[in-house]
Amino acid sequence: MILEDLASWIAVATTKGAVPVITGRNGDMDTIGSAIALASSHPNLMACGLHLGKLANRLCTELNAPFANYPSLLLGQLSWWNNNCRCCI
């Protein structure tokens, strides 16, 4: 995907509501940092995921980085996602 296409998709998706930038099972610092960097491009984007490595967790805590950790999703509690998210990256 060309970056202009991604930017256009984000512009459309964020008009519909909250858009999580979801990280996968790899919670290392470059994965988390990339999600935070992408999410910083628009106020309706939020970096979030299920896993945070030790270093990523420590840095997010110390720097008050905007990353939402949702371990409750592992338990199948999807109500927040179902009620608030219209798209995801």
- In tens, the pLDDT along 61-74 reads 999 998 888 765 54
- Number of domains composing the chain: 1
pTM for this predicted structure: 0.77
Alpha-carbon gap, residue 45 to 34, rounded angstroms: 13
How confident is the model at residue 84, as a pLDDT? 59
Residue 11, domain member (yes or no): no
Name the more confident of 88 and 61: 61
- Find the domain containing 32 and state its range: 20-84
How confident is the model at residue 76, as a pLDDT? 53
Residue 41, domain member (yes or no): yes
Residue 26, domain member (yes or no): yes
Residue 43, domain member (yes or no): yes
For residue 29, the surrounding DSSP H or E stretch is: helix 29-39
Could you report the per-residue pLDDT of 7-63, keeping only the tens digit for each? 999 999 999 888 889 887 788 899 999 999 999 999 999 898 888 899 999 999 999
